[in-house]
Structure 1
């Protein structure tokens, strides 16, 4: 979280929250959704300004109820999630490859999941910013490693299939996959189970 954002929160602590205007799509793009997009259930415009994308990524957080938001100065902009709070790509690196999310963080995987639509989700650890209230009712942001889930970008499904050993399940696939010389589980899941299992709210409401 940027220092200037934290300072603005102290100066203007009661700015109303914003809902519905920002979304994270399945490709890891931030999308601005104006009133027309919201009223017509449209995805909105991809934000292409590099500095703004980086600013959103640095100030991306969640509260303890699982609502994800962008802290835009003193205003909290809650984010509509098309899939999961994180979207990851398999990016070549000195170690071979990294799983990198839309905020340019490396995710440390512990497992993967496949759903009824053929999507692959990575389960693992992300160092994320969490908004909480302490016993003295003081608002605070804490950064800690948390287990979460990320949708694997569709462009990397072929690469993932090369790492996996599959067995057919009733409505999906299970098995295992190899990541940096470790064999990790690959289990089936229904897409409707993801939000409750990993404690996030896809469409935050006031």
Structure 2
């Protein structure tokens, strides 16, 4: 978080949180009430002040007010930088991960130091270049067999990420929040019940 946020929290410690206003779409774009946020100044304010609470609910700390974020997919959306590295939608480099999975649609899920992250859509070419199997490159048949496995299965594939190779598991999209410890649709807890937006 930026210093101005901490100063605002000290000055106004009890500002109610907002729920249902902010969102993050599957492409890593911020939304407010379903409309894309396109102004770079706003995006540059949100990105460094985006974090998770102890319950796995992700939020933007806007000065003294916390705005919880509804997630279409994952808290962090990954993109390739075109040079073989992955970056979060907030601009953080992902050079390592603790665990990796493929979902039923072929998206890559990672448990990173920055939080739960997904790579999907146009950037899946990166995944194909970094997959390893009994035969490399991984062919379409093996990939199809892997995607057809039940959620929770181990696969014959692994992922090369930086200097490490991670075994790939299979994880359904709907199971990702529980396994990775995040909440897609944050709701107020009892003490916050009057703050819903």
Q: TM-score normalized by structure 2? A: 0.80
Equivalent-residue separation in structure 2 for 1:18 and 1:192 (angstroms): 25
Contact between 2:103 and 2:147, CA under 8 Å: does it hold in 1?
A: no
C-alpha displacement at 1:124, in angstroms?
2.4
Q: Of 171, 175, 180, which aligns to 2:148?
A: 171
Q: 1:182 to 1:2 in 2, by over 3 A?
A: closer
User: Is 73-82 or 100-109 further displaced after alignment?
Assistant: 100-109
Q: CA deviation at 1:66?
A: 0.7
Residue 77 of structure 1: SS of its match in structure 2? Answer: strand
Higher helix share: 2
Q: Work out whether residues 113 and 123 of structure 1, in 8 Å CA contact, stay in contact via their aligned partners in 2.
A: no
Structure with higher strand content: 1
Measure, in 2, the Cα distance between the counterparts of 1:158 and 1:106.
18
Find 1:203's aligned residue among 161, 174, 185. Answer: 185
> What is the distance in 1 between the residues matched to 2:163 and 2:13?
48
Q: CA RMSD in A?
A: 1.9
Q: 1:181 to 1:2 in 2, by over 3 A?
A: closer
**Residue in 1 that maps onto 2:100:** 112
Q: Kindly indicate whether residue 175 of structure 2 is the aligned counterpart of residue 193 of structure 1.
A: yes
TM-superposed CA distance for 1:155, in Å, is 0.9
- Output the TM-score relative to the length of structure 1: 0.77
Stretches of structure 2 that go unaligned for 5 or more consecutive residues are 134-141, 189-197
Mark the runs of 5 or more structure 1 residues left unpaired by the alignment: 34-43, 127-147
How many residues are aligned here? 172
Q: Given the alignment of the two structures, is residue 155 of structure 1 paired with residue 137 of structure 2, yes or no? A: no
Match of 1:182 among 140, 164, 168: 164
Matches within 5 A, 1:11-22: 11-22=11-22
